Structure 1
């Protein structure tokens, strides 16, 4: 990274991803959810914009051949050639600006020394660093280790998020940066804050624009009130709604995050284009008047997204699949209905053991990728998921690519970099593979992350903290389309038409390759005796 010009600075005050339960869904979920088509949705948006006092998603006027860079970036892969690392990003790119004065790091796994190396060497001891983790039990060895490392640095403060559910994790991956030029930035990504996740594993990053200060500093700061109903009346995708949902998310931590809530309340989020989709532990109403969490929050956000006419499919690409149940009740009736309105087909991209063996780090990559197939219930789960499973690398000896017909394979350049990334993408009309919406998130395919089915009281239970960003083309320009891009963050020249185009950088090849009849997903708990490409074996671990 190029060295930046620096101003005179003074101290300022300013292993496994998830541990691995089902109830009857409500009658309202038994009906198909069919969001309006793009044509009708655009008409409704025009009517909504006449309502005073409600900020609408930014929709600039249509400009011929207008293009937008991908809202998601891939991280740089250490052992790949430069041609596969175009437009990628590193941790130092995110943290290396000497103007950063304060950093809030939310994550599951933390290496404090690695985190601190990301800051500019001349200011890393001046940045106020807050580490939010989920190791709250006093007897936790992870907590003790984290405390010992933090004690060596006077500018690092730890905050333990309370987790009431023994199966829950603090799985959110987010950075909030405050800067000396009176701007702030929110970064939502998929990597643990450890070296392995930022070297040879595929990860993704969403970064907000630099957010300007809209209120002068006050001494002492005035605590931000909970998001009001007026702010939540702004539609998902708008900056005002993103801010309200983010502040509501942070309020779930209680006093631990009071300072950063107070700070962020003073910044202008109007340049943000995206909807926050997050989860916080506890029981929540699926029809809450405040921010909705988990699958209910995703479903609410998608009600605003125009959908293409014709056949479509939702591709869920994750690094962990928990125990979903011996039947497909939760997967089909709760999860798929919440995120696949309009009758979309579903596919799940997950690597096989062969793909892990051939990855850059061999079996060691598999330590970060999880599902289980040993128990009778897990074996039943494998049977109902097998028809929707697709390869990560798309070059397996068994199986045949069936999507796209005579469509040429489009190379994403990440098939040997094992996936720790989590992406959810809805592809519209199969004839042009246009994209209706896309999301990068920390949430894997699990009840802990997305929430259980609704109970008799209209509530859903969530075990973990998660966070992600949902985007769709209408947020960027009127009549825009979203097109998949490969090996770059900008639209291919031959895909740019008269209407605006939003690029979306994909981490996997298209068309997808379904699993063969005998193939199974990688399971870190299983023993693998066939050597990986470096000659290593895998004894299996929980």
Structure 2
């Protein structure tokens, strides 16, 4: 009996979501060599400059951020989503570097194509630096069952820091590489009923012999050259005390990043002092520097900070407003009168939203904040005016304006582990699209450990405790004058929006938003979910939550 042929996941990660469609994967029909590019230019810099001057016809794209498939939701709410097997199931993958906070080795290995599962060289980078740490011992025991799995513990100089980055680097037998930055721990729960999101880079070919290295001065914000420089500098931070990422750095030096449209926003632990000549900045300083190059509207806008954890920020809002919000408010503004500062919203679930989620209270174990101590109570007081619901359907929340058209994202019952920071404006249909100035997908929650303390007044140093990684996108990366519009339930623009863009010969970029808009503020007396508290009210499955 002939063995049935396999169909690898498609490049955009949608291989399993369209039953009956059996295209021939390009990876099996192309020769095993770097794919030929349309533009044959001498250097990456010349390539990018030519793109800037090329005429801009109507161009339509898919969302740069993808949501992960939710196991217990119907197909209509899982359109254009991806799974771990979509990402890792291609039999042409030869090597995988997996960076994360929590790891289930068996779950990770099950995602690879079964014919090559024992051949892929898998490197797992974790932050369990104590030799007697039960998590480290468990990880070692699991890895010992696979001859092709190598563990690496990250250099952790800060006592209260974590290795929180969520990323994969994939090398393939067709001489291409791909970077995957996402929000999920490498455990089953995070990839089933929790809302997560993924950014997948284009397939990166090998550098052509005629291409030359791009120096720091030529690497402009948002370019592939700048992304490559920052990404390699991020990996080099692991090698401060011992060689950890040197092998993958040496390999990635050979690849062409010029097709990437994004800025890397990452954090590495330590004390950092930045100057005008600093090649790569970290934490909030990286965000602030990148946003200086991002055009922002002078119209009134909101910045939604949607996270799965809120740390202790201090009894006053000085760090939040004077450091973090100030960095997020940066942007390249046009001529004319100065615009009003953006309004900040913090999207975080309440206990009732956790009770109603697909996994009930069990999903709350991944979502954290505290409101018990006097300092935390003060923090809740200054956060309360900004707090908004995840599901936007609370009977106790502030009522939305009469006639407001709710844009349904289809994720209100899938508890949020995704982390997004989005600057947007507009009310949505029927008043027009919700337009986006910029959007960040990241592992970083709302914390000083992730983003860094305020700069020291005397030394200018910023102290960061954790490893984090994310990608920032904005419309101008795709074409001059491009727009970015919020989409819901799909990664593409609606037919009418596509027609409008075509008629205007404009570039329209969709951005998949994981929550409903407009946002619903907390009502009087509502508080965020606290995983370290106990709840006697039963969730929809009849369970209670007892902590300790």
TM-score range, shorter-chain basis? 0.7 to 0.9
What SS class does the counterpart of residue 244 from structure 2 fall into? helix
User: Deviation digits for residues 391-410 of structure 1, max 9, x if unmatched?
Assistant: 0000000123447x733111
Partner of 1:526: 533
Q: Is 1:339 matched with 2:328? A: yes
Deviations 1:511-535 (A, max 9, x none): 1000001100000001111000000
Q: 1:318 aligns with which of 300, 307, 312?
A: 307
In the alignment, the residues of structure 1 paired with residue 60 and residue 397 of structure 2 have an alpha-carbon distance, to the nearest angstrom, of 36
Name the structure 2 match of 1:173: 166
Q: Write the deviation string for residues 59-110 of structure 1: whole angstroms up to 9, x where unpaired.
A: 5756554211100000000000000000000000000000000000000000
Structure 1: give runs of 5+ residues left out of the alignment. Answer: 9-51, 217-226
Structure 2 CA distance, aligned partners of 1:333 and 1:480? Answer: 31
Q: 1:419 aligns with which of 408, 416, 421?
A: 416
SS in 1 for 2:411: coil
Which residue in 2 is equivalent to 1:388?
386
For residue 233 of structure 1, report the CA deviation from its aligned partner.
Answer: 3.9
* Alignment map for 1:85-96 (pairs within 5 Å): 85-96=78-89
Give 1:78's match in structure 2, choosing from 67, 71, 81: 71
Which residue of structure 2 aligns with residue 128 of structure 1? 121
Q: Of the candidates 428, 444, 462, which is equivalent to residue 425 of structure 2?
A: 428
Q: Select between 232-241 and 175-184 the one with higher mean Cα deviation.
A: 232-241
Q: Distance in 2 between matches of 1:459 and 1:146?
A: 35
Unaligned runs of 5+ in 2: 9-24, 30-44, 331-338
The corresponding residue for 2:367 is: 369
Decide whether aligned partners of structure 1 residues 62 and 389 sit closer, same or farther in structure 2, where only a CA change above 3 A counts.
farther
SS in structure 1 of the partner of residue 234 of structure 2: helix
Which stretch shifts more, 514-523 or 431-440?
431-440
Please tell me whether the aligned partners of residues 473 and 502 of structure 1 are also in contact (alpha carbons under 8 angstroms). Answer: yes
Q: TM-score, normalised by structure 1?
A: 0.86
1:438-493 Cα deviation digits (max 9, x unpaired): 01000000000000000020110000000000000010122110000010000112
Greater RCO (CA < 8 Å, at least 6 residues apart): 1
Distance 1:515 1:61, change over 3 A: farther
In 2, distance between residues paired with 1:451 and 1:54?
35
Take 2:93 and 2:436, find their aligned partners in 1: how far apart are those partners?
35
Q: CA shift at 1:494, angstroms?
A: 2.5
Runs of 4+ in 1 over 4 A off after TM superposition: 5-8, 52-65, 429-432
Match of 2:98 among 74, 87, 105: 105
Q: Which aligned pairs between 1:370-519 and structure 2 lie closer than 5 A?
A: 370-402=368-400, 406-428=403-425, 432=432, 433-455=434-456, 456-496=458-498, 497=500, 498=504, 499-519=506-526
Query: Aligned with 1:284: secondary structure?
Result: strand
Greater shift after overlay, 338-347 or 381-390? Answer: 338-347
1:220 alignment counterpart: none
Equivalent residues in 2 for 1:11-410, closer than 5 Å: 55=48, 59=52, 61=54, 63=56, 65-214=58-207, 230-231=215-216, 233-254=218-239, 255-287=243-275, 289-341=278-330, 343-402=341-400, 406-410=403-407
C-alpha change, 1:57 and 1:451, in structure 2 (3 Å) is: farther
What is the CA–CA distance in structure 2 between the aligned matches of 1:385 and 1:326, rounded to whole Å?
A: 11
**Alignment deviations for residues 318-358 of structure 1 (CA, whole Å, 9 cap, x no partner):** 00000000000000000000012362110000000000000
Cα distance in 1, alignment partners of residues 273 and 422 from structure 2: 26
Counting matched residue pairs gives: 486
Q: How many angstroms does 1:428 deviate by?
A: 3.5
Which secondary structure does the structure 2 equivalent of 1:501 belong to?
strand
SS in 2 for 1:256: coil
Q: Report how far residue 289 of structure 1 moved.
A: 1.3
* Alignment partner, residue 40 of structure 2: none
The Cα of 1:138 is off from its aligned counterpart by 1.2
Partner of 1:116, secondary structure, is helix
Report what 1:537 is aligned to: 544
Distance verdict in 2 for CA 1:375–1:162, change over 3 Å: same
Contact 1:56–1:234 under 8 Å retained in 2:
no
- CA deviation string 1:138-178 (max 9, x = no partner): 12111111111111111000000021112100000000000
Q: In the TM superposition, what is the alpha-carbon distance from 1:54 to its structure 2 partner? A: 10
With structure 2 as the length reference, what TM-score do the two structures score? 0.85
Cα distance in 2, alignment partners of residues 302 and 367 from structure 1:
34
Summarize the Cα distance change of 1:106–1:310 in structure 2 as closer, same or farther, 3 Å threshold. same
Aligned partners of 1:302 and 1:163: how far apart in 2?
29
Distance 1:171 1:391 in 2: 25
Question: Residue 240 of structure 1 aligns to a residue in which SS?
Answer: helix
Deviations 1:10-47 (A, max 9, x none): xxxxxxxxxxxxxxxxxxxxxxxxxxxxxxxxxxxxxx
RMSD of aligned residue pairs (Cα, Å): 2.1
